[in-house]
Chains A and B, each alone.
Chain A
Amino acid sequence: DQQVKQNSPSLSVQEGRISILNCDYTNSMFDYFLWYKKYPAEGPTFLISISSIKDKNEDGRFTVFLNKSAKHLSLHIVPSQPGDSAVYFCAASAIGWGKLQFGAGTQVVVTP
């Protein structure tokens, strides 16, 4: 069952603008959320994470927002750069799981 959902398979954004990626989850036990970036034929690269006790976490151009009541998180990339073109995965974990549950990914294309 899809406990983590990324409903937008793709996103196209102009260089310099904001990219907003969305992720929804169904399991209220999740207490840690992560975003990974992945290029073809490479492993996912960790971008940013957020604990369920927070509602926002920032790291440079990347900000993750968590809305626990809506079971929704989003990743904002500002400003978007051509090197940001990749597949972005949302992932979640719960106490005792020892594993990550991934969404299906969103392909981001940043155009000049």
Chain B
Amino acid sequence: KAGVTQTPRYLIKTRGQQVTLSCSPISGHRSVSWYQQTPGQGLQFLFEYFSETQRNKGNFPGRFSGRQFSNSRSEMNVSTLELGDSALYLCASSLAGTSVETQYFGPGTRLLVL
């Protein structure tokens, strides 16, 4: 079974621009979560989608948004980029997103904001 895939793997943007990241979950998985990893803050939860609905949201500003499509693929968008948005963005999928499920991570998208 193919793992979680994320595109693109690397991105360079400038302040004020917007960016869209894509995530394809493991086949059959319906829950997709997004995390941000930075050296200072570690792995922080952004949001979780299940059946095209956002079920959970972390403490990030409204510039961070996402969506999920009927095939469970998910996109994450960051508008008006700031230097502090430079990070590794990780997507994880699980079957139904319950607390007793394992989340499987993709390789991440490395975003650099200049």
Residue positions of A touching B, CB distance < 8 A: 31-32, 34, 36, 41-46, 49, 51, 89, 91, 93-105
Contacts and interface: CB of A to CB of B under 8 A. Distances in A.
B33 A99 contact: yes
A51 B98 CA distance: 13
22 contacts: A32-B99, A36-B105, A41-B108, A42-B107, A43-B6, A43-B106, A46-B103, A49-B102, A51-B100, A95-B98, A95-B99, A96-B99, A98-B55, A98-B56, A98-B97, A99-B45, A100-B43, A100-B92, A101-B45, A102-B43, A104-B42, A105-B42
Contacts, number: 69
Given A36-B105, A43-B4, A89-B43, A98 B110 contact: no
Given A51-B100, A100-B45, A44 B56 contact: no
Contacts of B98: 95, 98
Given A31-B100, A43-B90, A98 B106 contact: no
Interface string B47-69: 01010000110100000000000
A31 B106 contact: no
- Tell me if B's interface is mostly helix, strand, loop or mixed: strand
B22 interface: no
Interface string B1-18: 000101000000000000
